[in-house]
Structure 1
Amino acid sequence: MFDVVIVGAGVIGSSIARELSKYDLKTCVLEKGSDVATGTSKANSGIVHAGFDAKPNTLKGKLNAKGNAMFDKLSKELDFPFKRNGSLVLCFDKNDINKLYELKEKGENNGVPNLQVLDREKLLELEPNLNEKVAAALYAPTGGIVCPYEMTIAYAENAYTNGVEFKLNTEVKNIKKTETGFVVETDKGDIESKVVINAAGLFSDDLNNMVSENKIEIIARKGEYCLFDKVAGSLAERTLFQLPTKMGKGVLVTPTVDGNLLIGPNAVDIEDKTDLSTTQEGLDDILDKAKLTFKEIPMRQIITSFSGLRSHSTADDFIIGEAEDVPGFINVAGVESPGLSSTPAIAEMVEGIVVEKLSPAKNEDFNPVRHGIPKFREMNNEERKELINEDSTYGKMVCRCETVTEGEILSAIRRPLGARDLDGVKRRTRAGMGRCQSGFCSTKIVTILARELNLSETEITKFGGNSKLLIGENKEI
């Protein structure tokens, strides 16, 4: 029997797993996908919100600014990319400037430091590519950007090396309460646990409703994005929001930690919780709204579009805590924006609930440090030469767009919770994320994966399951 079973290996489940690995607990994470970060955590804005937007005295309001302040230490310990680039909420109508001061007051009530309202002249100094119609903006210097899937992988790897067990490709079918805890029925067999933590994202309502009479409802809210080539990345230094008006909320424009430019999202509630399609109408809408922010949008630099699904709760707040009628069943549901920003504080909150319930001893061997894959693209020539002398595979280029070497791909496969498919390699190394969108490197990566995993190339998938890339081999004539 496990002490704790966590359902879901997104950023929330993985962060909780890492916090619980600080204790002498037998913990297991169940994930129906082929890898960690295969749901909402792989496709979102990557924004670390300062905390001025959430309503005070809600969980969002209490946890956002607290979580934001924890990113500097975490990114150093776990070696994931994070940058405090600051954020601006842009106002284009002088009659709406009072709303910036209302946001500022709300942020200060939430504990957000150093908020300022800036005039037009100062804004154009900071961001010269802004639409000159801008009137003023709220500036939050603590706003930041992060790579959400690298952050998730870092959390999961550190949890794993500290003793947490991960069962991937394992789907929960039912949960039953017992006298000693729970039986979690999966497609790979039954698992017993004293405590169950529901971090199943879009499907967290299904899990809660299996055991609790207090039903919750999660709505899939789709957001579509356009990603621009790195040559457009310098168009904005800070994350640029538009002040919501009677015409709508607008869209954000932000640099990414990898140097690209990102525009989006819209927000459309859908019934199918697996629908990640994009639409011409949706993409046109976000690009049209972005024209309010910028003088010009470099349309020719768009390299891909994608969508992500957010877990919107009808309660309009995070749902965190033990179900009132099911002792030992802990919900972490409805974690939409600012969920990524609040993640460290959410994990700490759930840690407190578990520790109070189980009173575990400390894990004296806990190691908070995780080292990521060396990034060849970020090294100078001397560092590259030294690395190649140590391991010649770092001298073999695989992805030219993102400057990813064979050594990095081998590390992605061989490290704890290593990649087992093309998308797993992509999330760990960025191979295939450049301008050609894996047009040149995908065949090389398939060959490396097959060799390392001792599989046929026809068995290699894009993201697990039946997503096979090849259907057979050419016969010699």
Structure 2
Amino acid sequence: MSIPEVDVLVIGAGVVGAALIRELSRYQLDLLLVEKEVDVSFGTSKANSGIVHSGIHDQPGTLKAQFSVQGCRLFPELAAQLGFSYKQNGAIVVARSRAELSRLEKLAENGRANGVQDLSSLSQDELRRIEPNLSPELAGGLLAPSGGIVTPFELVFALTENAVANGAKLMVDTEVLWFKQEKDGFLVRTNRQPIRAKVIVNAAGLYAGEVATMIGDHSIRLYARKGEEYLFDRKLKGLVHQTIFPLPSQVTKGILVIPTVEGNIMIGPTAHRVEEYDLSTSLSGWHEIYPEARKLVPTLQAADLITAFSGLRAVGTTGDFMIAPSSVDPRFINVAGIESPGLTAAPAIAEYVVELIKESGLRLQAKRDFNPIRSVVRLRDLDPQAQAELMQKDPAYGQIVCRCEMVSVGEIRDAVRRGATTVDGVKLRTRSGMGRCQGGFCTPKIIRLLSEELG
């Protein structure tokens, strides 16, 4: 059996790997993205808070600061091209007392040093006028209008689908086991088949350190930081409009109140180092988050909570992203320690890594037929006339599976044809099962449709 050969192998189909494979698909290259989970975005990216950061929090001169500001500016065009849900809603960092106002000004200076534009200080009255449901005890705020929100897993699906449409290949449920350096690249052994690659990009998230050691590179040292988040019913839509931050600590940006693109309110995250792979949520996490969130928005009620989740972030020992060719072999590029603001930075990181690939000696020639556009039908987003026309064309779009989120049979089938092989894969692509009943009504129907589509 011949061993498939590719120009670039990207390991890890989180938001960074997805952004990179999509950027590389602009060029005449044989590309392969591998992911050890059963679907893309099923690692850290699935539990991302979905915030597009403005860049005010990051230390000037760092890769975090550079790529956060650059990435934030790329999101409006990306969303227009790829059809994922995105809203430039802005962000407000609040001071809980007059004593904290000086820290807000220092944060503004930090943001301006990073190139963040249109920052403005808000008095107590201005803060209440913009966000009337915030606590009247808050002393003021810093408004960063360039900040935004996005559905993180939808972003990853959009990036990978567009890359595949432009010729890249994707292999899920594929774990890299070891490498062997060769004259013209690498021989890669996976749990499925061997692969030869001229260049490898290690975007393996929590496992990037383990992957790097496979070629003898021990420079990537990471640990997992767990964050729990809590999601409230969509009936709270409009409770806040901007993403609300407290002043940050040395470790974290704090407990936030986040309006999602879909209209829910989310609070969190926690930030605790863990030694084992643990995605459980806890009563202690709730007791840590809920009181802090209510200091920002006092009208939040526990009765409106519908679900909770957690994720693990890969935190490096340098305090910054670790993006560079390996000292062992320049054809092996590490993209590691991509903690917050990693989602925001991902499009800019992708552009940067493309330049590193060029410097490795691989020739990149742009495609004339690259198509940046990807579109997906969302029944709930269409006006009544467009819905009627779609249902007339395909009656499957008139058969509602998920009542909470108004998801049709047509959308479920489309999600499977776009790569979903599990209930979670369908859920994340369509939002079926994400409403108040959390799949109590629609899950059996989704399983049946999956069975019909996949045989």
| 1:27-106 map, 5 Å | 27-106=31-110
- State the TM-score, normalizing by the size of structure 1: 0.92
Pick aligned residue for 2:352 from 330, 349, 353: 349
Q: CA deviation at 1:185?
A: 1.2
Which letter does structure 1 place at the counterpart of 2:448? T
Which letter does structure 2 place at the counterpart of 1:441? C
Which letter does structure 1 place at the counterpart of 2:373? V
Q: CA deviation at 1:351?
A: 1.1
Q: CA deviation at 1:117?
A: 1.0
Change (3 A) 1:45 1:127: same
Q: CA deviation at 1:121?
A: 0.1
Instruction: Work out whether residues 6 and 197 of structure 2, in 8 Å CA contact, stay in contact via their aligned partners in 1.
Output: yes
Partner of 1:306: 309
- Find out whether 1:198 has 2:199 as its counterpart: no
CA–CA separation in structure 1 for the residues paired with 2:251 and 2:212 = 37
- Find out whether 1:438 has 2:439 as its counterpart: yes
Render the CA deviation track for 1:267-295: whole Å, top value 9, x for unaligned: 011011x3111111011110011121012
Q: CA deviation at 1:248?
A: 8.2
CA–CA separation in structure 2 for the residues paired with 1:174 and 1:245 = 39
Instruction: Work out whether residues 232 and 298 of structure 1, in 8 Å CA contact, stay in contact via their aligned partners in 2.
Output: no
- Find out whether 1:229 has 2:228 as its counterpart: no
Instruction: Work out whether residues 252 and 271 of structure 2, in 8 Å CA contact, stay in contact via their aligned partners in 1.
Output: no
| 1:361-380 map, 5 Å | 361-372=365-376, 374-380=377-383
Which letter does structure 1 place at the counterpart of 2:254? G
Instruction: Work out whether residues 212 and 326 of structure 1, in 8 Å CA contact, stay in contact via their aligned partners in 2.
Output: no
Pick aligned residue for 1:148 from 139, 143, 152: 152
Q: CA deviation at 1:247?
A: 12
CA–CA separation in structure 1 for the residues paired with 2:251 and 2:23 = 42
- SS at 2:279 equivalent: coil
CA–CA separation in structure 1 for the residues paired with 2:308 and 2:48 = 12
Instruction: Work out whether residues 130 and 293 of structure 1, in 8 Å CA contact, stay in contact via their aligned partners in 2.
Output: yes
- SS at 2:386 equivalent: helix
The 10-residue stretch of structure 1 (211-220 or 241-250) with the greater mean CA deviation from structure 2:
241-250
| 1:313-328 map, 5 Å | 313-328=316-331
Partner of 2:129: 125
Q: CA deviation at 1:190?
A: 1.5
Change (3 A) 1:231 1:191: same
| 1:152-167 map, 5 Å | 152-167=156-171
Pick aligned residue for 2:286 from 283, 286, 294: 283
Q: CA deviation at 1:359?
A: 1.6
CA–CA separation in structure 1 for the residues paired with 2:250 and 2:78 = 39
Change (3 A) 1:439 1:106: same
Instruction: Work out whether residues 49 and 341 of structure 1, in 8 Å CA contact, stay in contact via their aligned partners in 2.
Output: yes
CA–CA separation in structure 2 for the residues paired with 1:6 and 1:100 = 40
Which letter does structure 2 place at the counterpart of 1:321? A
Q: What are the ranges of 5 or more consecutive residues in structure 2 without an aligned counterpart?
A: none
| 1:17-32 map, 5 Å | 17-32=21-36
Render the CA deviation track for 1:185-239: whole Å, top value 9, x for unaligned: 1111221111000010010010112214442211111000110010112211110
CA–CA separation in structure 2 for the residues paired with 1:98 and 1:158 = 45
Which letter does structure 2 place at the counterpart of 1:432? G
Change (3 A) 1:180 1:239: same
Q: CA deviation at 1:69?
A: 0.3
Instruction: Work out whether residues 121 and 140 of structure 2, in 8 Å CA contact, stay in contact via their aligned partners in 1.
Output: yes
Pick aligned residue for 2:340 from 337, 342, 351: 337
- Find out whether 1:448 has 2:449 as its counterpart: yes
- State the TM-score, normalizing by the size of structure 2: 0.97
CA–CA separation in structure 2 for the residues paired with 1:187 and 1:46 = 32
Render the CA deviation track for 1:395-439: whole Å, top value 9, x for unaligned: 101000000010111111123xx2111011111100000000000
The 10-residue stretch of structure 1 (376-385 or 2-11) with the greater mean CA deviation from structure 2:
376-385
CA–CA separation in structure 2 for the residues paired with 1:363 and 1:11 = 23
- SS at 2:404 equivalent: coil
Number of residue-to-residue matches in the alignment: 450
Instruction: Work out whether residues 400 and 406 of structure 2, in 8 Å CA contact, stay in contact via their aligned partners in 1.
Output: yes
Instruction: Work out whether residues 36 and 172 of structure 2, in 8 Å CA contact, stay in contact via their aligned partners in 1.
Output: yes
CA–CA separation in structure 1 for the residues paired with 2:250 and 2:364 = 52
Q: What are the ranges of 5 or more consecutive residues in structure 1 without an aligned counterpart?
A: 455-477
Change (3 A) 1:92 1:355: same
Instruction: Work out whether residues 175 and 207 of structure 1, in 8 Å CA contact, stay in contact via their aligned partners in 2.
Output: no
CA–CA separation in structure 1 for the residues paired with 2:75 and 2:252 = 31
Pick aligned residue for 2:266 from 246, 252, 262: 262
Instruction: Work out whether residues 132 and 295 of structure 1, in 8 Å CA contact, stay in contact via their aligned partners in 2.
Output: no
The 10-residue stretch of structure 1 (427-436 or 380-389) with the greater mean CA deviation from structure 2:
380-389
Q: CA deviation at 1:63?
A: 0.8
- SS at 2:238 equivalent: helix
CA–CA separation in structure 1 for the residues paired with 2:167 and 2:381 = 31
Pick aligned residue for 2:398 from 395, 399, 402: 395
Which letter does structure 1 place at the counterpart of 2:307? T
The 10-residue stretch of structure 1 (387-396 or 287-296) with the greater mean CA deviation from structure 2:
287-296
Partner of 1:428: 429
- SS at 2:338 equivalent: coil
Identity %: 45
Change (3 A) 1:298 1:70: same
Instruction: Work out whether residues 21 and 366 of structure 1, in 8 Å CA contact, stay in contact via their aligned partners in 2.
Output: yes
- SS at 2:298 equivalent: coil
Which letter does structure 2 place at the counterpart of 1:35? D
- SS at 1:305 equivalent: strand
Which letter does structure 1 place at the counterpart of 2:398? G
CA–CA separation in structure 1 for the residues paired with 2:250 and 2:366 = 52
CA–CA separation in structure 2 for the residues paired with 1:294 and 1:156 = 37
- Find out whether 1:209 has 2:210 as its counterpart: no
Which letter does structure 1 place at the counterpart of 2:395? S
CA–CA separation in structure 1 for the residues paired with 2:253 and 2:75 = 27
Render the CA deviation track for 1:350-396: whole Å, top value 9, x for unaligned: 11111333122222221111112x11112222111111001000110
- SS at 2:447 equivalent: helix
